[in-house]
Amino acid sequence: MEKFEINILGCGSALPTTRHFPSSQVINFRDKLFMIDCGEGSQLQFRKSKIKFSRLNHIFISHLHGDHCFGLIGLISTFSLLGRTATLHIYAHKDLKMILQPQLDYFCKGMTYDVEFHDINTNSSDVIYEDRSLSVSTIPLKHRIPTCGFLFQEKPALRHIKREMIDRYSIPIAYINCIKNGYDFITEDGETIPNDVLTSDPEPTRKYAYCSDTKYNPSIIDQIRGCNLLFHEATFAESDKKRAEETFHTTTKQAASIANDANVKRLIIGHFSARYEQEELLLDEAKTIFEETILAKENLKINL
């Protein structure tokens, strides 16, 4: 199976602790890298992870709270010091450019590459990135400021053609791609061989959803249904449900019920408040609703 790997660089929340870095993840999809959020220190964690800096061309920022974007200026500067030439694409609320551009102008004189900002609308589910094998869409979330999650969807691969059928029906090479794309084959005698005789299903496509920060928001369920992995914030324990409501965050059990209702395969919770020294308690709470839950952790890699 092609690589589709989630690397957790940081999974704490706004207050620094000795246990966590602020939010950042790197998705490795077939050796193309995509970053989600970039809290302070993300470039240090990135370096530690041994993932190759040069493979990163797209950064998605969920919202403009500091713990999700203060690491951008350092990362961008470092890329310039390293002589990067490829354009770096940043997808974020439109205010990011206004905030970041003056810093780039001041600190990164003689930049060796371009930074291109792409404004995103956090209120609708739009495809904001697409290539031959992957699409990334926004997931509208409900936080104190405009915020969205991101859905990474692998595109369907071509159907597998059965080698023995090529021989049996003497299928010319020129037709093979059509058949992989689902077309039937007509023999020289005029016989139609249906595509499902000639091919088998491709690998099922995989989906990863990142939802942070948000209050409990069941309206995302349809969009994330059946994901292989859902990262959902669970900033608070159930005992701090009131605090979660006030600050537009989610509790452990709320995150788990989203996972359950969306019928995802696995849930990973993160964005832990600094107040919990024993995060196993958060895990235990979530597991009472959704067994297939794990805790996010710095330097954790998950393969889909």
Answer yes or no whether residue 283 interacts with a copy of itself by CB under 8 A.
no
Helical spans, DSSP H, in 153-225: 163-168, 173-180, 195-198, 221-224
Residue from 31, 52, 54, 82 binding a copy of itself (CB under 8 A): 82
Q: Which is nearer to a copy of itself, 106 or 277 (CB)?
A: 106
- Catalytic positions: 67
**Residues 43, 75 contacting (CB under 8 angstroms):** yes
Which of 150, 131, 135, 4 lies closest to 63 in space, CA to CA? Answer: 150
**Residues 232, 208 contacting (CB under 8 angstroms):** no
Residue from 2, 31, 86, 95 binding a copy of itself (CB under 8 A): 95
Residue from 1, 83, 106, 200 binding a copy of itself (CB under 8 A): 106
Q: Give the C-alpha distances (Å, rounded to integers) separating 66 from 22, 63, 75, 118, 193.
A: 9, 9, 15, 19, 59
Stretch that binds a copy of itself, among 62-70, 183-191, 215-223, 285-293 (CB under 8 A): 62-70
Q: How far is the CB of 265 from a copy of itself (least distance, A)?
A: 33
Q: Which is nearer to a copy of itself, 42 or 217 (CB)?
A: 42
Residue 149 one-letter amino acid: G
Helical spans, DSSP H, in 185-251: 195-198, 221-224, 241-247
Q: Which is nearer to a copy of itself, 10 or 149 (CB)?
A: 10
Answer yes or no whether residue 119 interacts with a copy of itself by CB under 8 A.
no
Residue from 3, 30, 31, 48 binding a copy of itself (CB under 8 A): 48
Q: How far is the CB of 17 from a copy of itself (least distance, A)?
A: 7
Binding-residue pattern over the window 151 to 170 for a copy of itself, x denoting contact by CB under 8 A: --------------------
Answer yes or no whether residue 24 interacts with a copy of itself by CB under 8 A.
no
**Residues 141, 220 contacting (CB under 8 angstroms):** yes
Answer yes or no whether residue 21 interacts with a copy of itself by CB under 8 A.
yes
For 191, the token pair is 């016989």
Answer yes or no whether residue 104 interacts with a copy of itself by CB under 8 A.
no
Rounded CA gap, 113 and 117, in Å? 13
